[in-house]
Structure 1
């Protein structure tokens, strides 16, 4: 049996689907099992109950782990006989740097180290920018044709969450990714301005991205969805990525046997959110 934390989230939902499609027994952990929409045959349970008995593989979403406590969850995994842990990490973790200088990388690397210390088999899936980060523009797009944000020319290679789920599921089902940390990207490097333009093309509206100052962006971010420390870290990354195409990782295609989904495909899958 495979246990998936964050099973109704952006990535966990795709992990559940991939495992279910492969015929695996899956237990989906979520805050509200009664409201979870899951594939046929998938059972649901409350995350805080940590029902790991009988599990051989565990998908770890860091957001869930940090809520319930890494020590508690990992100790429970060992006691329950879990053999393999696949963790959703971040490409902010730099393999040749210790300690990590980036706070996002440092936090993920600390959890990776906790997983390694269990002595269980592990795989760390390290994606870069999530395509779902574009959801931060939903309200602006619903309100008008201009998206305001920092560093219009900052280049990312946003990855579809379904591709993360496919790689994570493969790491649980097969042995060839044990001990590996595949870094994942989407198949194309796009600026923020490019991403907004593509959203417009898919939903049939002439959208454009208008750059605001670093200071204005920090104010918005720090009073919204991230801490000031994370806002500063993200803005530094964005500044460094201006007019610098993101290297494209071959790992999605290597692991899954097919090219990664494009950003336009992601928009098509999520188009209803922008209307």
Structure 2
């Protein structure tokens, strides 16, 4: 029984490949360029394809019964249909709340979730609240250059989760029974302000890091430079603004599903000191 991991060279994908191999699973790794898929563990079959271009998936899905699915909203239903036609029996998908929309009746809906639920396969949806690795994306460059962070809403509270913990839950849902039809909200084990996260990174690298609050408009420019669409930027910054001076949701789902607690942000920072030095 082969499991296909989409985005296998990403942070969650790599960790998921390792988790599945540790469980004795047959794993195929989907990548846009098979010739550049370096660093994957031995024993993984690399298959070429792009989840953003569903027409490239047919050959990659041959003999596959379980899929860790990624998809952009505009092709999510096409990807799900490709999985249905290939006879995929189980799908696990990570879905961001940033992609949530409200319909004409005010009900929250998510295009990717709708596609997964309509695929005809057993499905499990994972909804991480915030990724620890956002600290690398948003802050690592200025921390390396001058031990400072230029960012919005220092008092916004989040519960950042380590990508490896998301992967552990995904591996359980792909390989164990009892997760079909479940939507899991995933968080780290603690509610932290963004300023507290910066302090923790500083302790990990042995340096004091200053936090310089910037206007929202400047943050929009920073995120735009990373190629993030304007609508996603707006929703992301709205989420951070709403999180100011509030307690972030903390769930015990990682513990319940994997029988081990989610790792702390301090542990994550200690594992990523080279990203900030």
Structure 1 equivalent of residue 11 of structure 2: 10
Whether the 8 Å contact between 2:28 and 2:44 is mirrored in structure 1 is: yes
Following superposition, the deviation at residue 235 of structure 1 comes to 1.7
Structure 1 equivalent of residue 265 of structure 2: 263
Whether the 8 Å contact between 2:98 and 2:235 is mirrored in structure 1 is: no
Q: 1:207 to 1:125 in 2, by over 3 A?
A: same
Asked if 1:127 corresponds to 2:133, the answer is no
Question: What's the secondary structure of 1:264's corresponding residue?
Answer: helix
Question: What's the secondary structure of 2:249's corresponding residue?
Answer: coil
Q: Give me the TM-score of the superposition, normalised by structure 2.
A: 0.89
Whether the 8 Å contact between 2:156 and 2:194 is mirrored in structure 1 is: yes
Aligned pairs (5 A) from 1:154-233: 154-233=156-235
Gaps of 5+ in 1: none
Q: Give me the TM-score of the superposition, normalised by structure 1.
A: 0.90
Question: What's the secondary structure of 2:84's corresponding residue?
Answer: helix
Instruction: Give the Cα separation in 1 of the matches to 2:249 and 2:269.
Output: 22
Question: What's the secondary structure of 1:122's corresponding residue?
Answer: strand
**Total equivalences in the alignment:** 267
Instruction: Give the Cα separation in 2 of the matches to 1:128 and 1:184.
Output: 6
Structure 2 equivalent of residue 57 of structure 1: 66
Whether the 8 Å contact between 1:62 and 1:88 is mirrored in structure 2 is: no
Map Cα deviations across residues 71-117 of structure 1 (whole Å, 9 max, x no partner).
4432222222210111111245779x756979xx85xx111111211
Asked if 1:82 corresponds to 2:88, the answer is yes
Pairwise CA RMSD: 2.2
Question: What's the secondary structure of 1:247's corresponding residue?
Answer: coil
Question: What's the secondary structure of 1:259's corresponding residue?
Answer: coil
Instruction: Give the Cα separation in 1 of the matches to 2:41 and 2:105.
Output: 39
Gaps of 5+ in 2: 51-55
Question: What's the secondary structure of 2:171's corresponding residue?
Answer: helix
Q: 1:113 to 1:42 in 2, by over 3 A?
A: same
